Structure 1
């Protein structure tokens, strides 16, 4: 049996990414990302854009979320796996630091995993619900 911590199975790699993110362990999160990763936050989302490299992803997404939100967490609950493709249905919860308004928003994430690393990520989320909690 393969150890979860070293498994290269796409769902296991993605699950390690969620666990590292929830723990605030950016080094462990970067370890799940390919050197040439393409990480796309949806148009309309506060951090919209495509970020490359593990450092680019954590600096432009995770660290910025931590600056603006208390307790930002992606709660993964359903995985659909097709070869290298992993689609995760999840929920974001957090409270905006400026307004104190909470969010509880359903999301879908599409990951492509090759060679035990995430090479591509795309986010799908109701951006209006996130923006409603933010300052005008």
Structure 2
């Protein structure tokens, strides 16, 4: 399997909630960078190693969200690097709030395993969905964002 097929395997395992299938694609010492300000990010840098990635990212996503998926719009093959563009959707169980967050992820693959993951995502939507009572976090309607490519102009 080449890098492109390996990354496609990540999303196939994600749809099936197949953590074991995902783990088979990761290098044992993977560097997993969640986006800055993401609730599952390591403030000190990347999560290092499969156990941290599973315990601090994969399991929380599977446990905290209902119907969390990544809609993949494009996959760009750049040799050892694969770039994925799409959208995260799902409902945070504790609040019932939905997201439709644009995402881009960059994977690095060596020797048939993913050695690095870097995420770029609208963390504002994710933090809003996860906030039990924080009216200071305001997120535009996801349908509005999809149809216009951005928030509507303000009347004020």
Normalised to the residue count of structure 2, the TM-score between the two structures is 0.79
Greater RCO (CA < 8 Å, at least 6 residues apart): 1
Partner of residue 3, structure 1: none
Contact 1:32 1:116 in 2 (8 A): yes
SS at match of 1:106: strand
Hey, which of these two has a bigger chunk of strand by percent? Answer: 1
Aligned 1:117-128 pairs, distance under 5 A: 117-128=113-124
Separation (CA, whole Å) in 2 of partners of 1:24 and 1:87: 22
Give every structure 1 segment of 4 or more consecutive aligned residues whose post-TM-superposition deviation is greater than 6 Å. none
2:112 pairs, out of 91, 100, 116, with: 116
Partner of residue 63, structure 1: 59
Q: Bigger CA drift: 55-64 or 107-116?
A: 55-64
Partner of residue 40, structure 1: 33
State the Cα deviation string for residues 75-94 of structure 1 (Å, max 9, x = none). 22201121201110021011
Contact 1:89 1:109 in 2 (8 A): yes
Paired residues in the alignment total: 129
1:26 pairs, out of 13, 19, 28, with: 19
| Displacement after TM superposition at 1:55 (Å) | 2.3
Unaligned segments of structure 1, at least 5 residues: 1-6
Aligned 1:72-87 pairs, distance under 5 A: 72-87=68-83
Normalised to the residue count of structure 1, the TM-score between the two structures is 0.90
Structure showing greater radius of gyration is: 2
